[in-house]
Chains A and B, each alone.
Chain A
């Protein structure tokens, strides 16, 4: 039963397998490759292509958000400064928060997962590759809308959290808040579709033998996060839609004079908003669980505890939201419940930290840049988590809520908990994304500048808050005792900017002239390291069969590979949810322009409805038509599918 026999058969498909000829490998690459040219770029659906675009785009937003922050910090370096007037300053901090939260922190995690998850689970693709592409385009257009508003001086200025009544029709005139609310619609649509893509991929496309308890912890973190996306994002979509309706067509959801309630906004927003920070925090827990084992040369200690901690954190995250509202007139007994929940969520995170420390303690350490960034997590995130315990207490929160203490806390947990591990992840997987190694020396400089600059920028803010400086202020008076700390914070901010600049330099020079990366530059244990850096378009020449949690480290059992998938058609192996037994081999669609065109039509619909409610009616038609064209089977593809069809 050799391949020679099969290829000789007339009309038989070209099949893959571990012993397939180079011809098969070329056929696979040609099958899964994206089409060339400009139109090809718009039709591309390979998950790695989309993910790289996605990561680059989110990084651009990170830079833009950072520049906004630099402008703010420069204004605040001295008291009574008049560099930036209050109207512009309020737009800047609104845009900074909105960009970082909606256009960077959550999407980048989905983007990285979009690249890595199929490789880690032994699949050739994500489920729904065209929807994956559509989600990217919708995200891109939403981000462009938001920054477009800044360019035409119609930016939102009511804060990233956009409280009513300030953001309502009476106090925020102009289109800024409407644009903000509609940008939410874009990004939440994108996020929700990505969640469906990633969840289905993880459940159904794992390599044979990769039962749920053999999945890499990063895949678990991604899965848990996507479920949170599914349950949290609807809340913000509803509340932002209700805001647009109040502003555009005269509803009264938030108008107390007509039976609405101001706090309804806060409940709906924070019911999303609190899980959102865990959407940002949980994937990096997956990064850390990927990086530590490789650089400690042993699997993470306590895999079941780690998985249960991820799940527990996700559940608990939905029960905390009122801790953002402790200063309101909600009944005190209710607030105490949220104090308890906010303290309890520390437990699963603590368990993870103890397991990681235990792994480091009993491992053998390879101190490279990715590990440095992960180690910074133990300093910065833990400090941020501890200030979070302080904020969980109602009496303490009543003093430091809405002050620079919270600014310090949120940056410690978000930058320490997400951005540092993210940088570690970039250093770790850059070879896989680009085929080159990032420079170690520049990496160390990047790291130390970031670490020192971060602490210089944000540690004084704890004290600033305790000493009375509120948030979201464009200036502060001289003589409050805040001058020195603000100046220090600004110096720290510029230091961070220098470190990010170093990172960009490292990326650009390494991309062109960095050392070529072997398939497995770090000696990792998971499947992505078994393919070339950069993986071929089809990821795996032969789908692996998995027998343990760290397939590359554990001695190989038989069978090792899958054979029999088509090499000249986009055939994917779908397996069962729990045990990953081979189930069927669906044919995936070819690259298509329809996701892009549908995204354009969706953009017209969303932007139109900022200006008139009738847009919902007439702009829906092109969206429907584009999506029908997207779905409608092409005769040639259909014929191919029928030719190789096998009924269940």
Chain B
């Protein structure tokens, strides 16, 4: 907040000296806003609804195919727990630098925002590498049977989000370093954090389905 508390509200004022007509003057409104005030927030929410629906339907496909199968997993053992569980830990842990980056951005602290974004990126590299190991230890190929197909589908869908989230975060991190910057960029960093939350939180049910539903 600046020292002299200037208004950021619209105000109603007389249209001109003569008439009693009024006009709504908006020249002192801010030029950006955080959270649900920003248009980006709404598009991020829309994206989360869409992708959430995709994940939900993919999970339903998994269980649908399972109810039709005499045994599950089909002709193979369940995916190994090691890499998936490790990745879950890394992903959940990455929420910390993510939240810190968000907070720094909303306080418009460029240095801290940069720093935490870079930490997030390091986490990205880690979980992408571990994701590779996850694919390798699923114990089934996508062309073996419907079980393999749907497990690979679920994991691939989520991996697509990991990749796009990584690219988004990288672009923002670079931009924060090189500029050009304006207030709206801090909003972008804040919204990116939201998407990161979505990618991590949506992983939890998918992890449960791929690794644990196959064991019961």
Please determine whether chains A and B interact with each other in the same assembly. Answer: yes
Report B-chain residues with C-beta under 8 Å of the C-beta of A560.
Answer: 21-23
Cβ of A192 within 8 Å of any chain B Cβ, yes or no, is yes
Q: How far is the CB of A237 from chain B (nearest CB, A)?
A: 7
Q: How far is the CB of B117 from chain A (nearest CB, A)?
A: 15
Q: Is the CB of A645 within 8 A of B15?
A: no
Binds B, one of A137-145, A254-262, A426-434, A515-523: A254-262
Q: How far is the CB of B211 from chain A (nearest CB, A)?
A: 19
Q: How far is the CB of A581 from chain B (nearest CB, A)?
A: 8
Q: Is the CB of B25 within 8 A of A204?
A: no
Report B-chain residues with C-beta under 8 Å of the C-beta of A192.
Answer: 50
Cβ of B203 within 8 Å of any chain A Cβ, yes or no, is no
Cβ of A400 within 8 Å of any chain B Cβ, yes or no, is no
**A586 partner, pick from B43, B64, B184, beta carbons under 8 A:** B184
Q: Is the CB of B47 within 8 A of A196?
A: yes
Interface residues of A in 601-648 (CB under 8 A from B): 624, 628, 631-635, 638-639, 641-642, 644-648
Chain A positions near chain B (C-beta within 8 angstroms): 1-2, 15, 17-19, 127-128, 131, 192, 195-196, 199-200, 203-204, 208, 230-231, 233-235, 237-238, 242, 245-246, 249-253, 255, 258-261, 264, 267-268, 271, 545, 558-565, 573-574, 576-577, 581-587, 624, 628, 631-635, 638-639, 641-642, 644-648
Q: How far is the CB of B124 from chain A (nearest CB, A)?
A: 15
Report A-chain residues with C-beta under 8 Å of the C-beta of B54.
Answer: 234, 237-238
Q: How far is the CB of A276 from chain B (nearest CB, A)?
A: 15
Residue of A whose beta carbon sits closest to that of B56:
A234
**B182 partner, pick from A246, A545, A584, A641, beta carbons under 8 A:** A641
| A582/B57 contact (C-beta < 8 A), A196-B46, A558-B22 known | no
* Number of residues on chain B facing chain A (CB within 8 A): 66
> What separation, in Å, do the CA atoms of A642 and B31 have in the docked complex?
10
Residue of B whose beta carbon sits closest to that of A588:
B39
Report A-chain residues with C-beta under 8 Å of the C-beta of B148.
Answer: 251-252
Q: Is the CB of A200 within 8 A of B46?
A: yes
**15 A-B pairs in the complex with CB atoms less than 8 angstroms apart:** A128-B39, A196-B47, A204-B39, A235-B53, A237-B54, A252-B143, A559-B12, A559-B21, A559-B22, A573-B29, A583-B29, A633-B175, A638-B180, A645-B31, A647-B183
| Residue from A242, A251, A271, A642 whose CB has the most chain B CB atoms within 10 Å | A251
Per-position 1/0 for B123-162, Cβ under 8 A of A: 0000000000000000000111111111011000000000
Q: Is the CB of A564 within 8 A of B27?
A: yes
> What separation, in Å, do the CA atoms of A249 and B183 have in the docked complex?
46
Per-position 1/0 for B10-23, Cβ under 8 A of A: 10110111001111
Q: Is the CB of B64 within 8 A of A632?
A: no
| A250/B37 contact (C-beta < 8 A), A19-B16, A242-B153 known | no
Cβ of B28 within 8 Å of any chain A Cβ, yes or no, is yes
Counting from the closest, the 7 A-B pairs by CB-CB distance are A564-B27, A259-B146, A251-B149, A250-B143, A638-B180, A559-B22, A582-B10
> What separation, in Å, do the CA atoms of A267 and B60 have in the docked complex?
11
Report B-chain residues with C-beta under 8 Å of the C-beta of A639.
Answer: 180
Q: Is the CB of A259 within 8 A of B74?
A: yes
Residue of B whose beta carbon sits closest to that of A640:
B182
Report A-chain residues with C-beta under 8 Å of the C-beta of B86.
Answer: none
Q: Is the CB of B37 within 8 A of A252?
A: no
**A624 partner, pick from B10, B108, B167, beta carbons under 8 A:** B167
Report A-chain residues with C-beta under 8 Å of the C-beta of B57.
Answer: 234-235, 238, 268, 271
Cβ of B208 within 8 Å of any chain A Cβ, yes or no, is no
| A1/B184 contact (C-beta < 8 A), A238-B57, A562-B23 known | no
> What separation, in Å, do the CA atoms of A255 and B27 have in the docked complex?
63
Residue of B whose beta carbon sits closest to that of A255:
B146
Report A-chain residues with C-beta under 8 Å of the C-beta of B146.
Answer: 251-253, 255, 258-261
Q: Is the CB of B39 within 8 A of A587?
A: no
Cβ of B171 within 8 Å of any chain A Cβ, yes or no, is yes
Q: Is the CB of B46 within 8 A of A585?
A: no
Report B-chain residues with C-beta under 8 Å of the C-beta of A558.
Answer: 20-22
Residue of B whose beta carbon sits closest to that of A198:
B46
Report A-chain residues with C-beta under 8 Å of the C-beta of B181.
Answer: 633, 638
Instruction: Given contacts A586-B32, A633-B181, A647-B32, list 8 more A-B pairs with CB under 8 A.
Output: A18-B23, A203-B42, A231-B53, A562-B10, A562-B23, A645-B183, A647-B183, A648-B32
